[in-house]
Structure 1
Amino acid sequence: MPARRRRSRPVWFPRLTLRGGIFLATGGALFLNALVIDRRDLLFVACLLLAVPVVALVYVTVRPAKLDISRTFRPPIVPAGGDTVVSLHVRNRSLRPVYGTRWRDTGSAGIRVPASMQLPALDRYEGGPEGGADTAILEYTITPRQRGVYDVGPLMLGRFDPFGLALSERVAGIAHDLVVTPRVTPLPGSGEALIRGDGSVHELLRHVNPNSDELIAREYRPGDSLRRVNWPATARHGEIMVRQEEQRSNPEALLIIDTTLTGAPTSGAGRAGDRTNHHDQAFELAVEVAASVGVHLLDENFRLQVIELGASQLAPGAAQTRGGLHGDANSTFRAPGGDRLLLEGLANLVPVERADLDAARAMLPRGAARGLNGQVPAFAVLVDLDEEDATDLAALRGHYQPAVVFALDTMAHRPVEILQDAGWHCIAVRTPRDIPDAWNQVQRERGAVHDPA
């Protein structure tokens, strides 16, 4: 699950290396042998072998180096499966040089950091700006595979004694958050087609978001799409007239995300365990579908409202506990910058428990459709909807045009049938490779309905 991944940090104490352990074991064996055979010279050697590791432990413990650590990510937000460069700026704040130190970074589960490496020698603190001999820059690349917010850090600095008998690791700096967003699959259909109306999907969206500008006609110009010919105006003027290019600046769209995962009944411990794992995988795919559709709509300058079927996580609050279908406020995203905010929110999205909604169902007409002007395109990504929620969603079909459901393979048949009977166009999505085809299917289906030919 992509919840925030934290792990407890162990407390590191000075410890002996393998060489130090051999010294200690050899010294102990010689000490016992010297006592048995009463050899003072052997006793002296034994005590020396025992004392050296102890002194080494003290050496690596006292007077630790004072270092300033700053950490940056390039880029600071990375999609799942993408690379980001971790850059560590290490500066010596001590009045003595630092050498013979090893470093290793730490990270949450799911973050693979490099093994321990030698820290470049640092001169004593010089003052002034960074970049002198008292500063070193350490860089490495990480590739998180799953969305979420990960801890990277703190840095661990290992100090050895000159003989390599003891090691002391100390924490330096603090952990920093790395935001890993869901993957975004580019969807077919150019921005120009959406803006100018060339393309079946946008013809549909323009049709369900009419405004006065589209009713204005002008003369035909070479290159204009014949789909935009205004035939009544052509008859009146005696020449070919087309609909005005200027369009609504803030068309609206709705994105519904299933976050409850409570639809399927449980029958048997073994099957429940398997289903839970399967549902988690399906939920990750659902978030990827939602990210792809949401970013695509924002790129086309839609004002996007997002509904979560569970308690709101994108717009949390004390009253945001019933879900967007039952009165909770919707989250709204706009371009520019809305795509980044949406992806950052989806990075933290997790399945939640379904609330008791018996008293909330009276609020249905004011829930999901609140704040929307007329009919708007709606895209629902469903993982495990139960029949009651499917009935609630089906009752709102009249507010949306088109109304499209991307159904994961964890959906039961009956909720899908309820939505289809209400007029929702249901498209199955089983793997990330199905996302472009599913969007193409929307375009083909809606284009076939609205193409005058």
Structure 2
Amino acid sequence: MLSGLTIRGRCLLAAGVAAGICALVLDERDLLRVSAFVIALPLLSLLLSGQVRFGVAARRVVDPPRVPVGSRADVELHISGSGRLPADGLVLEDGTPHALGDRPRFRLPVVPRHGGQVVSYPVTPALRGIHHIGPLRTWIVDPFGLAQFERELAGRSRLVATPQVVELAGLPADSGLGTGEDGTARMRAGHGEDDAMVRQYRQGDDIRRVHWKSTARRDELMVRVEERPWHGGVTVLLDRRSAAHRGNGPNSSVEWAVSAVASICLHLAQHGQQVRLVTEDGHPLTRGIGGDDGAHDEVLLDALAAVRPSPQRDLQCSRDPGDGHELIAVLGEVTTAGVAELTKLRPQETRSLAVLLQVRSWNGDGGGVDVEESARTLRAAGWNVVVADGPTTPISEVWRELCGQTRSESTGLMA
């Protein structure tokens, strides 16, 4: 119980006890009365402060509970007094992580017992993630500074700092159809064997895959693709490997990649496409986002807010990362072996697009893998590739260039 006394209170209590002993030895009744008062004062302060701490309640409101990085949220603390004794001289401190700034501290001279009091402060998350605000602690001190009690008034509240989303324009040609050729080239003709998916013949296709009925009907060579049926939708791959990125904090290349993925996924979903988001190891972060009223946007942003770098050194794919869908990959530094992993299980007739980050530009490092060599290897495998040169490269510009490549490719095929 005496642990609630401050240094001043303990010194005053010790002085009262010493004065009381001297009064008894010297038989001084006046001094004994003074010592009794000196001893009673800190003990009374201790008792009253202990009663007050149980008569204070608080709750926290975070508005809004989800904000983009760099945007403001307001935290409101509703303090109320419910005890018989007035709660005066409260010191409040709310715990906040480093990414939200300094810990706010308040002093409330009086807490009304009817209606309470509201104090608020702003927070601006500097880093993407799920941040926990709290606990809210108070220090109740008596007017003389003789006793002090610490108490936790409120637990933790969650604030989700989502990645920044950039508005994009346009779509890749025939996006969501699953392959790079014109969607009208795919057809379902008749029944039975004629139900096979077909497309135009390409140089190097196996002659055994020619669909002769469709060829006769269209008067041009058509080949079967029924081995891998078409599935609508787009798979977006986020490369979150720590070894593949450079830079620190909000200006790192991995944050640029997360922001790009968020922008691409939401843009595709807003245009009615089904979007599946996976990481470099094929682990799905979301399934079936889009194609509705956008109710799943928060799910996508929450998933990206919680993404953390992976210790995996290189890309390793045990299966097609696109799962038979059109694939858009946002990649950090990729080695020749990583490129081979990406391309070996991808069907050639399925469209694949990549955004390669020139990660050395994020910290001025001149070393690392040559991104142009990786881009050439991917293009040789039939991928559309755009290189993001550095942290100042606008995501919208990269997306526009990627869409332009697919439109040029589609025009060339039609010609």
Same fold (TM over 0.5): yes
Determine if the alignment matches structure 1 residue 401 to structure 2 residue 351: yes
Taking a change above 3 Å as real, the CA distance of residues 310 and 148 of structure 1, as seen in their structure-2 partners, is: same
Distance in 2 of aligned mates of 1:204 and 1:107: 43
Note the C-alpha offset of 1:79.
0.8
Give aligned pairs, total: 348
Equivalent residue for 2:236?
255
Equivalent residue for 2:97?
108
Taking a change above 3 Å as real, the CA distance of residues 158 and 44 of structure 1, as seen in their structure-2 partners, is: same
Note the C-alpha offset of 1:258.
0.9
Determine if the alignment matches structure 1 residue 381 to structure 2 residue 362: no
Equivalent residue for 1:238?
none
Note the C-alpha offset of 1:388.
2.3
Distance in 1 of aligned mates of 2:183 and 2:137: 61
8 Å contact kept, 1:310–1:352: no
Note the C-alpha offset of 1:407.
2.0
Distance in 2 of aligned mates of 1:451 and 1:399: 16
8 Å contact kept, 2:127–2:250: no
Deviation string, structure 1 residues 263-306 (Cα, Å, up to 9, x no partner): 59xxxxxxxxxx68599922122111211211211122211111
8 Å contact kept, 2:58–2:80: yes
8 Å contact kept, 1:263–1:386: no
Letter in 2 for 1:434: P
Match of 1:350 among 298, 308, 316: 308
TM-score, length-scaled by structure 1: 0.63
Determine if the alignment matches structure 1 residue 421 to structure 2 residue 380: yes
Equivalent residue for 1:127?
none
Letter in 1 for 2:158: D
What stretches of structure 1 of length at least 5 have no aligned partner? Answer: 1-12, 124-132, 195-200, 216-249, 265-274, 316-330
- Aligned runs of 1:24-43 on 2, under 5 Å? 24=11
Distance in 2 of aligned mates of 1:160 and 1:442: 64
Equivalent residue for 1:170?
151
Distance in 1 of aligned mates of 2:392 and 2:335: 24
Note the C-alpha offset of 1:354.
2.4
TM-score, length-scaled by structure 2: 0.68
Distance in 2 of aligned mates of 1:397 and 1:354: 25
- Aligned runs of 1:251-400 on 2, under 5 Å? 252-262=233-243, 277=248, 281-310=252-281, 312=283, 314=285, 331-334=287-290, 335=292, 336-354=294-312, 363-364=318-319, 367-370=320-323, 372=325, 376=326, 378-395=327-344, 396=346, 398=348, 400=350
Note the C-alpha offset of 1:383.
1.8
Distance in 1 of aligned mates of 2:351 and 2:261: 18
Identity over aligned pairs, percent: 23
Letter in 1 for 2:167: P
CA RMSD of aligned residues (A): 4.2
Deviation string, structure 1 residues 141-161 (Cα, Å, up to 9, x no partner): 211111111111221122110
Taking a change above 3 Å as real, the CA distance of residues 47 and 435 of structure 1, as seen in their structure-2 partners, is: farther
Structure number with bigger Rg? 2
Could you say what secondary structure the match of 1:437 adopts?
helix
Distance in 1 of aligned mates of 2:284 and 2:38: 61
Letter in 1 for 2:288: T
Note the C-alpha offset of 1:164.
3.1
Letter in 2 for 1:283: V
Note the C-alpha offset of 1:435.
1.4
Note the C-alpha offset of 1:51.
7.4
Could you say what secondary structure the match of 2:99 adopts?
coil
Taking a change above 3 Å as real, the CA distance of residues 142 and 184 of structure 1, as seen in their structure-2 partners, is: same
Deviation string, structure 1 residues 219-262 (Cα, Å, up to 9, x no partner): xxxxxxxxxxxxxxxxxxxxxxxxxxxxxxx9512211112234
Distance in 2 of aligned mates of 1:45 and 1:295: 76
Deviation string, structure 1 residues 403-446 (Cα, Å, up to 9, x no partner): 23232424722544432332331322421543122122223433
Letter in 1 for 2:79: V
Taking a change above 3 Å as real, the CA distance of residues 151 and 24 of structure 1, as seen in their structure-2 partners, is: same
Determine if the alignment matches structure 1 residue 435 to structure 2 residue 395: yes
Deviation string, structure 1 residues 15-53 (Cα, Å, up to 9, x no partner): 637xx38x949987xx89xx9xx9999999899778755
Distance in 2 of aligned mates of 1:185 and 1:391: 31
Deviation string, structure 1 residues 366-404 (Cα, Å, up to 9, x no partner): x323263xxx2x321112334322211123262542523
Distance in 2 of aligned mates of 1:415 and 1:47: 86
Equivalent residue for 1:446?
406
What stretches of structure 2 of length at least 5 have no aligned partner? Answer: 188-230, 361-367
Note the C-alpha offset of 1:342.
1.0
Equivalent residue for 1:150?
131
Deviation string, structure 1 residues 342-381 (Cα, Å, up to 9, x no partner): 1100111011232899xx86x43xx323263xxx2x3211
Could you say what secondary structure the match of 1:290 adopts?
helix
8 Å contact kept, 2:238–2:329: yes
Deviation string, structure 1 residues 126-147 (Cα, Å, up to 9, x no partner): xxxxxxx243333222111111
Letter in 1 for 2:406: R
8 Å contact kept, 1:305–1:332: yes
Taking a change above 3 Å as real, the CA distance of residues 285 and 97 of structure 1, as seen in their structure-2 partners, is: same
Note the C-alpha offset of 1:66.
3.5
- Aligned runs of 1:66-215 on 2, under 5 Å? 66-112=55-101, 113-118=103-108, 120-123=110-113, 133-189=114-170, 201-202=172-173, 208=180
8 Å contact kept, 1:66–1:93: yes
Between stretches 112-121 and 155-164, larger displacement belongs to: 112-121
Could you say what secondary structure the match of 1:71 adopts?
strand
Distance in 2 of aligned mates of 1:106 and 1:433: 36
